[in-house]
Amino acid sequence: MEIIAAQDLRRMISRFRVLIVGRANAGKTTILQKVCNTTDDPEIHNSKGKKTDAAIVKSSIKRGNHDITNEMVFKSNPGFVFHDSCGFEAGSEEEFENMKRFVSQCAHATKLEERTHTIWYCIPMDGPSRTFQRSEENFFLECDTGHVPVVAVFTKFEALRPFAYGEIKKQLQGVSGEEHSKRIAQRVEELFTNTRVLNELYKPENCACSKYHVCLQNMNQQNTNCNNLLECR
């Protein structure tokens, strides 16, 4: 199957299909709203294209029933179609198997417009451990993503800054504002490296191979964007 860069795909097809994966409260909805430049909720359509009541969908998710084939489309940018994997991260084996099947089917679809064109896997950095959980390990070890590019998205990256400051605050006394920011940024990168999430992400035995990773911070602020995520191809 021919490998086509994401930016080239967006020029070739009318709808660019994204599967977004990640734990609850990883900031997935905020990312999608940033990508589509909106604060509105998306419209939801079933696999046959019929619009579905969002309240019904949310109620189904709360009961543990989630249909990964549902399409989320924002009116502000209908050129993107999103699928949400929510469900398997909480430990549901059935949801995990459904997600694996969906990923494989879309990765190997004959028609270009029916494929998943990229997968964004969101991993929040504000948790107590900030490491790979079992759900992440299972996804990267077991999911057949074919040639679909997987981008690991480390969200809420700003959560590392207080830890970085606490570890080097004595060294920051008397330094300039520019040097202060530089040292904090360096320590944040060291803390991120020490979590060893990148070691897990790029393990050679992984079935789902991440091509890139990006770090997003302060996505809840109005003046931020996801341009570095959209540039991945």
User: pLDDT tens digits for 40-88?
Assistant: 999 998 877 788 766 644 544 444 457 889 999 999 999 999 999 875 6
The model's pTM: 0.87
Contacts of 97-101 with CB under 8 Å at 24 or more apart are: 98/68, 99/21, 99/68, 99/143, 100/142, 100/143, 100/144
Domain range for 43 is 6-158+196-230
Residue 179 lies in a domain: no
Average pLDDT (98-127) is 91
Residue 173 lies in a domain: no
Residue 164 lies in a domain: no
User: pLDDT tens digits for 170-211?
Assistant: 999 999 999 999 999 999 999 999 888 899 999 999 999 888
Residue 224 lies in a domain: yes
| Type of residue at 140 | F
The Cα–Cα gap between 67 and 45 comes to: 11
Give the CATH number, domain containing residue 94: 3.40.50
The domain tally of the chain equals 1
The Cα–Cα gap between 32 and 41 comes to: 10
